[in-house]
Chain A
Amino acid sequence: MSARMVLDVSEYPSLVQGPRGGLWWGMAGLVLVEVVLFTTLIATYYYLKFLNPHWPPAGEPLPKLLLPTVNTAILVGSSFAIYYADTSISERGDKRGMTVGLVLSLLLGLTFLVLKGVEYAQVEYFWDSHAYGSIVWTMIVFHSSHVLSVVLKTVVVLALAAKGHWTRERCQGIKVNGLYWHFVVVIWIPLYLTIYWTPRIHG
């Protein structure tokens, strides 16, 4: 039997973080899929807008700006909180900082949802009023359900934190949850500009 060169991998680690691990890429794939979904919504908005002479339709007021803008700032803030949670555990092994970041991001996400609810409770058109209503309501409900799902996801992450699951070495779940959270925040920016600024800039 001839001797053979071997590559011994028994000392290679199995706990890795970020893009080194397959889980991160799986989540990146989901994010890519969702980017295409949201892009289709935005493209549909502009298709319908340029089809119709009046946008929003005659009789509907321009969307109000103050509340959604404040709300956007709150959502962007939640992204910083989740980033703080991530770096606390993955770079410093600081479990308290991680918990604080997670709780803060949860509170900010929930505030966003409540304020969205308040905002759209005052709107006087619905999805069955006209195509403008259809696309705006679809965008809002679709995005809000994403915020709700990432909030629920983070509740699970927090439950695992309470059980002491996350360590400096084992924090890929925090990273991947953070990736999705950042996506839900970042994708809101083009939606916000589309829904609230487009009718003002180009009526």
Chain B
Amino acid sequence: MATLDPALAPDTPAGDLHLLERTWSAPRGLGGWFMHVNHRRIGRRYIATGLALFLLAGLEALAIRTQLAVPENDFLGPEAYRQVFTMHGATMMFLFAVPIMEGIGIYLVPLMIGARDMALPRLNAFGYWMYLIGAVTLYAAFFLGVAPNSGWFNYPPLSRREHELTIGIDVWWVVVSMLEVAALVGAVGLIVTIFKMRAPGMSLNRMPIFVWSILVMAFMIVFAMPTLMTTSIFLGLDRMVGAHYFDPAGMGDPLLWQHIFWYFGHPEVYIMFVPGLGMVSMVVATMSRRPVYGYTAVVLSLIATGILSFGLWVHHMYATGLPRLGTSLFTAASMLVTLPTSVQFFCWTATFWGGRPRFTTALHFVLGFLVIFLIGGITGVQLGSVPFDLQVHDTFFVVAHFHYVLLGGVVFPLFAGIYYWWPKVTGRLLSERLGKLNFWLMFLGVHLAFWPQHHLGFMGMPRRVYTYLAEMGWGTLNLLSTVGAFTVAAGVGVFLVNAAVSLRRGAPAGDDPWAAESLEWSTSSPPPPYNFRLVPTVRSRTPLWDPDRAEQPVVVGLRDDQREALSTTLLDARPDHRVVLPGPTIIPFVAALAAATPFVGVLFGLHWVPIGAALTFLAFTAWNWPHHLGTRLEPEGGPEHRLAAAERAREEAEKARGEEVRR
């Protein structure tokens, strides 16, 4: 297989390169904008959309904090407050955190595993469009004044029709179902890409830790999100056709919602957090100039976190009167889940210990994550025990806890990742000076905003109230918290300035500004449309740090005139076959419009469900009709048929020989 080819020098004729460039380049113009399927385009869209929604959720947070800054404030009325605080939660959980993590995975994973694109590019584009349609639907409802208003968790009986007639609740379950479709589609695309598209030699135990974290995240999405979709549809059936799932008078039970919701909701937290852990491991290794200490332990910890997170959901329900024995088991599980994260903390510490850390902005955010997440983890252990939880249940202590966990465990690693990979995506460096200002504002702001809320919780301030009386004595701490929230916002503002300046006149980054170890840094910044001119092979966990990197084999023989990629075997990444990937097409956009019709349509009438289903069937038939594969259909007996037949003949001959030998 591997042969010595002296003819292949780095300066292969440029004609091929032009053809390759043309084959992989994105379509132009407004029409072309709807036809992109390339993973970097789709990934960038996910990230940009996610960041825009992050800013909107941040504005909603500022509105909430402004309302709570002083007692008996009337900045937001009760109904407006309900809508804004529901939108803040729903945006952060469904529209920001999960999609942006998937988006970063979609952008980076093919580059990290040495692939030219995702395994299922059109499916990937379809997922993005579903996400966008969901986000637009939710915010359209918000600006029309009919946003969901019963919290991001949307508990019945409050969300059942007899208590809440507004269409906002229906918007909630419809949009959530669409976003689940988007997240699931993205997750399946990532799993297949990681399984089948790795560069030759990148066996599972050589994958970068970030790729592992994305794989764990994708499997968690697959096992968690369908349950939320199911229960959302139960709620829709209750509200629209008079089903009785959550109706005690009709043999149903509101607690059924909480069980299914938190069976999804607790893993959801880890779905957002696990990719963050992966990013931290990458940044720690590069900035310490050595591989992460304990690769196997770190990877097993990621997997353990993913599995254990499915056994914790009842710790959101301690106050619902479940049997004691049950809650005790869930207390034990909640304590247990701290172990894998602790293992990773120790591995990172050991990495710093043996390395020579460079204190870049990315590493600042990692260190900030360690501190903030540690505090959130400690209050998490406290809340995991039933007696403590019953004391502070539904108070601001819980709000403080999960903001420490989510800002520490999701937003800080995300910013570390943004500062780390920005040069690869844009080709330009961010300012380190502004970056550190950004970090310190956010770091101090988080403590100022959320530390006082622990005390407010102890003082008995309940969650989800839109105001409070001056006599309660909660005014000072609330004001401090509001100041902290605006400090965080200032930090995010500095980031926006930094980003804008970098895009306009940032210093060129070069291929590998950090002297990093993984494959994405071996191609240009930003990467060319085909990612790698010569697909690399891999023989270690840190390929770019191999001393003989320049002599390692490269893959040749992929055609330049169509989008060809190499597929490898699942475990060992042995080269297996060539894949012809589809080029730009409008089909995913059309299919997403069709698939969104039953969801959005049901808000206007049940008859839209069969209509939408029929449209979806037509769209997917067009999708799978062979002419849309972007290549001419080969007649039977053509060259591709001959290659496949020759391979089969070879295999059968080998099998026959083996049987003869055995006899």
Q: Are B576 and A20 in contact (CB under 8 A)?
A: yes
Closest to A56 in B: B251
Of A23-31, A65-73, A110-118, which binds chain B? A23-31
B231-268 CB contact bits vs A (8 Å, 1 = yes)? 10110011001111101001111001001100000000
The contact of B226 among A40, A51, A138, A156, by CB within 8 Å, is A40
A184 to B644, CA, bound (A): 31
Contacts of B247 in A (CB 8 A): 131
Closest CB in chain B relative to A125 CB, distance in Å: 11
User: Is A201 on the interface with B (CB-CB < 8 A)?
Assistant: no
Closest CB in chain A relative to B339 CB, distance in Å: 26
Contacts of B230 in A (CB 8 A): 37, 40-41, 44
A173 to B222, CA, bound (A): 23
User: Is A22 on the interface with B (CB-CB < 8 A)?
Assistant: yes
Q: Are A29 and B557 in contact (CB under 8 A)?
A: no
A133 to B6, CA, bound (A): 74
A21 to B6, CA, bound (A): 33
User: Is A124 on the interface with B (CB-CB < 8 A)?
Assistant: no
Q: Are A8 and B237 in contact (CB under 8 A)?
A: no
Evaluate whether A5 and B242 lie within 8 angstroms (CB atoms) in the complex, with A14-B640, A37-B230, A156-B621 already known: no
Q: Are A169 and B119 in contact (CB under 8 A)?
A: no
B417-451 CB contact bits vs A (8 Å, 1 = yes)? 00000000000000000000000000000000000
Evaluate whether A22 and B243 lie within 8 angstroms (CB atoms) in the complex, with A10-B557, A37-B226 already known: no
Q: Are A37 and B2 in contact (CB under 8 A)?
A: no
User: Is B315 on the interface with A (CB-CB < 8 A)?
Assistant: no
| Interface members, chain A 157-173 (any B CB < 8 Å) | 160, 164-165, 167-170, 173
Q: Are A57 and B556 in contact (CB under 8 A)?
A: no
How many residues of A are counted as interface, with CB atoms below 8 angstroms from the partner's CB atoms?
A: 60
Q: Are B556 and A7 in contact (CB under 8 A)?
A: yes
A160 to B627, CA, bound (A): 11
Contacts of B260 in A (CB 8 A): 40, 43-44
Q: Are A130 and B222 in contact (CB under 8 A)?
A: no
Contacts of B566 in A (CB 8 A): 9, 12
User: Is A132 on the interface with B (CB-CB < 8 A)?
Assistant: yes
| Interface members, chain A 119-175 (any B CB < 8 Å) | 127-135, 138, 145, 149, 152, 156, 160, 164-165, 167-170, 173
User: Is A189 on the interface with B (CB-CB < 8 A)?
Assistant: no
A29 to B127, CA, bound (A): 14
Q: Are A25 and B195 in contact (CB under 8 A)?
A: yes
Contacts of B123 in A (CB 8 A): 26
Closest CB in chain A relative to B41 CB, distance in Å: 20
Q: Are A14 and B577 in contact (CB under 8 A)?
A: yes
User: Is A32 on the interface with B (CB-CB < 8 A)?
Assistant: yes
A4 to B579, CA, bound (A): 25
Closest to B641 in A: A169
B627-638 CB contact bits vs A (8 Å, 1 = yes)? 000000100100
| Contact sample, A vs B, 23 pairs, CB 8 Å cutoff | A1-B11, A3-B6, A5-B3, A5-B551, A5-B552, A6-B2, A6-B555, A7-B553, A7-B556, A11-B557, A12-B577, A21-B577, A26-B119, A26-B189, A26-B192, A36-B227, A48-B253, A131-B245, A131-B247, A131-B251, A134-B243, A138-B243, A169-B644
Q: A residues engaging B (CB < 8 A)? A: 1-16, 20-23, 25-26, 29-30, 32-34, 36-37, 40-41, 43-44, 47-48, 51-52, 57, 127-135, 138, 145, 149, 152, 156, 160, 164-165, 167-170, 173
* Nearest 9 interchain pairs by C-beta: A10-B557, A29-B188, A128-B242, A1-B9, A5-B553, A131-B251, A134-B243, A22-B119, A36-B226
Known contacts A13-B647, A33-B184; 17 additional CB pairs below 8 A are A1-B10, A3-B4, A4-B9, A10-B557, A12-B643, A14-B578, A22-B567, A25-B195, A32-B222, A37-B229, A40-B231, A47-B259, A48-B245, A127-B242, A131-B244, A131-B252, A160-B626
